[in-house]
Structure 1
Amino acid sequence: MAADTLYRRITDYATRADPYPLYAELREHRVARQEDGSYLVGTYHEIAELLHDPRISSDQRNRTDPDEFALGREGMPVSFIGLDDPEHDRLRRIAMRPFGPPHTPGRVDAMNDEIVKVAGELIDSFRNRDRVDLVDDFAYPLPVTVICRVLGVPREDEPRFHAWSQTIIDSFDPTPGTDPTERRRAGLDARGAMGEYLGDLADNRRGTHSDDLLAAFVNDPGPDGGFTREELMTTSVLLLIAGHETTVNLITNGMLTLLRHPEALDLLRREPALMPRAVEELLRFEPPVQLLPQRTPLTDVEVAGVTVPRGSPLILVLASGNRDPLRFHEPDRFDPARQDNQHLGFGSGVHSCFGAPLARVEAQIALAELVRRLDAPRLAEDPPPYRRSPILRGPRHLLVEYGGTRA
């Protein structure tokens, strides 16, 4: 089929269960101009170079025809992942100060015991059952509980922000041939409501000694100064959504892959020390974020012999780069012991995933506990039903049958 229809075919829900043949087709072209004027890039080395290229912008205001819905709304500017340096760097450093090194190096490590405890309690609830939905019963509640603890969001408010999160994610559905207007408007409204909610929570932390991120944002701004209220709202929305949605996919895609490769599951049961390496392979093999649709050249840029004009939409298909045979040996083979594995699962460059250290720990613990404690697990349905989003790709449900749970 024509290369200029690849994006339409990749984003078609009918291919959600297995987009990898389309990614292989994309890699044959390396760069493919699409019928809507966008450019797809699917090869590892080209994607990696573009992620580090200062001529490539994450700010949609630099597009020749910017999407008005992507530019935020009054009172809720775009988050730092949609900005370029120096503004991106300033906001990211303020957000990172209470989250990780060098200022707060122990926050993620300090969550380890709590993550183990939550994972164990969730698996304990599987007793006296022979089938569970690993999405609803495990992969969703685990990271939600963790990100609520990190940010300082009351766990009982989860149904509210779950609904907002889903509306926001749905608003980014890029399926060609559909009218996104209502979805995008609903997404902006949900983003505004969630931002006000988180902003109010942060205001209530002023002057307190709480150890969560919202309290740190308002009480310990650091040498770069603090967030404005609007910046705090936008950053908190980003961290809340990214802090659980991508990790849900990582855990679910991970367990789906292990159940499809029982020899790998058995290996990890015998050698649990391999789990960190296995999670890196899962980030390569079935990444939770499949593509980055919001990049724009600031000038004409040549990519693999193709000139991508200034201001054109540039879409980096990370999941395709992760299966590039020019970079990875036997890329379509899942190898939990793979060593040379500098994947694109968390992106790369200045916009690499802010929460990657926490997501790694959550996935390692979650999968280790499932592998250790579920007796003879097997898929009840394959392929499972998938979520709508081609960007945040993962099963909506994952029904698993098993013979019991171990202590």
Structure 2
Amino acid sequence: MTTGTLITQITDYANRADPYPLYAELRKQPVRRQDDGTYVVSTYYEVRSVANDPRLSNDTRNRPPGYARTADADDTGLPPSFIFTDPPVHDRLRETITRPFGPPHSPRFLDGLRGELAQVVTELLDAFEGKDQVDIVEDFAYPLPVTAICKVLGVPREDEPNFHGWADALASSLDPQVGEEGKEKGQQARQDLGAYLSDLIETKRRHPGPGILSALAPDMTPADLEATAVLLLVAGHETTVNAITNTTLTLLRHPDILDRFLKDPDLAVPLIEEVLRYEPPVQFVPWTTALADIDVAGTTIPKGSPVWLMLAAANRDPQRFEDPDRFDPDRKDNEHLGMYTGIHYCFGAPLARIELHLAVPELFRRVKFSRLLEDPPPYRANAVLRGPRHLPVAIEGLTA
């Protein structure tokens, strides 16, 4: 089986529900060249090594002519957001953005959102009252992260509904196999979001208020700030939706572990980390490029070659994790790649973990689940940001 065939199958929607046997096949050769010249890295130590190699570029402008670039690099007149840049530009932008977002400059910012986000969780679950079935995605996992990222940015509550559609279209456009229609929708969403953010940023400059847009306005150009806000919406929303939904689905598929979790809420921390390994919301990184020849596991990735880093395959590498296809919240030394690694480690990881630790325990504390109504559920089209599009479940009641 050729790498091209494997990658085609991995990105084929027919295999979205369970790509892991394909990842196992891919790992038999740690580094593989596709017919189009792309190199695919799939084993844990090799993915980690290449991801931390300064000769690997995240800047999609370095990709060879003819290779797909991300929606971030579309002709919108904006610079690329910091995730799609390399040092020193990346380091300058990331350091600037970190100041109002977290330690050491703003250690209480995220923690200060807990009360508001907990209230959102309560309101979403209260709406389950009287229902005998719900969609975990639409009714719970999807609304929470968009509210969180809007609070981080300082978006007025009445404008939040617009962000749902923009986030969905932008996330879908990141799929390397997306068609022209998906690209056009992503481009339109980015333009609409950009126009909204441009007005909001100008308002925040003149009338500072809550959120990081006000804090960053004096230190960043409007274009860089707008690009950053677009990135935070996509990265901060879609991945967390998938993480909450994947955790719910995994627990309902493992009733013995769910029973333990219900009796011992402290299991939440290792349980959520194990889900991030076992069912990571970001399956692979398909936009990097080699800036020089890179030798990996006996293979040379030539300068200028596009590189895909298969995070989900690496997270189930038996050379790193014992019995990797088993969901085990008691797993020790669980240094997974579910939030990536290196200088591009997920910027929003602290916020995502706060949301997960507020949402998941409360969901299972208050809701008495009966059964999954579809297993496997329908998945999103996106192979990169993988998660169920809907998760219909039957429920038997709701506690206070």
Q: Is the pair's TM-score, using the shorter chain for normalization, greater than 0.5?
A: yes
The residue matched to 1:146 in structure 2 has which SS? helix
Q: Which residue is equivalent to 1:154?
A: 156
Cα offset, 1:161, TM superposition: 2.5
Question: Structure 1: which 5+ runs fail to align?
Answer: none
Assess if the C-alpha contact under 8 Å between 1:380 and 1:401 holds in 2: yes
Q: Which residue is equivalent to 1:201?
A: 200
Equivalent residue runs for 1:301-316 within 5 Å: 301-316=294-309
Report % sequence identity.
Answer: 54
TM-score by length of 1: 0.94
Separation in 1, partners of 2:102, 2:311: 25
1:243-300 residue CA offsets vs partner (Å, 9 max, x unmatched): 2111000000010000000111111111101101111111100000000001111111
Separation in 2, partners of 1:327, 1:337: 16
Structure-2 change in CA distance of 1:41 and 1:130 (3 Å): same
The CA RMSD measured in Å over matched residues stands at: 1.6
Structure-2 change in CA distance of 1:154 and 1:245 (3 Å): same
1:1-25 residue CA offsets vs partner (Å, 9 max, x unmatched): 3233211110000000000000000
Q: Which residue is equivalent to 1:131?
A: 133
Assess if the C-alpha contact under 8 Å between 1:69 and 1:185 holds in 2: no
The residue matched to 2:40 in structure 1 has which SS? strand
How many matched pairs? 398
The answer to whether 1:383 aligns with 2:383 is: no
Q: Which residue is equivalent to 2:31?
A: 31
1:39-98 residue CA offsets vs partner (Å, 9 max, x unmatched): 111100000111111011111222232647543325212111110000011111111111
Cα offset, 1:209, TM superposition: 4.4
Q: Which residue is equivalent to 2:242?
A: 249
Q: Which residue is equivalent to 2:273?
A: 280
Separation in 2, partners of 1:82, 1:149: 24
Q: Which residue is equivalent to 1:6?
A: 6
The residue matched to 1:211 in structure 2 has which SS? coil
* Of 134, 138, 142, the match for 1:140: 142
Assess if the C-alpha contact under 8 Å between 1:58 and 1:81 holds in 2: yes
Q: Kindly provide the amino acid, as one letter, of the partner of residue 235 in structure 1.
A: T
The residue matched to 1:327 in structure 2 has which SS? coil
Equivalent residue runs for 1:99-110 within 5 Å: 99-110=101-112
Q: Which residue is equivalent to 1:392?
A: 385
Question: Structure 2: which 5+ runs fail to align?
Answer: none
Q: Which residue is equivalent to 2:285?
A: 292
Equivalent residue runs for 1:69-88 within 5 Å: 70=70, 71-88=73-90
The answer to whether 1:334 aligns with 2:334 is: no
Separation in 1, partners of 2:232, 2:333: 30
TM-score by length of 2: 0.96
Q: Kindly provide the amino acid, as one letter, of the partner of residue 332 in structure 2.
A: Q
Separation in 2, partners of 1:68, 1:375: 45
The answer to whether 1:320 aligns with 2:313 is: yes
* Of 98, 101, 104, the match for 2:100: 98
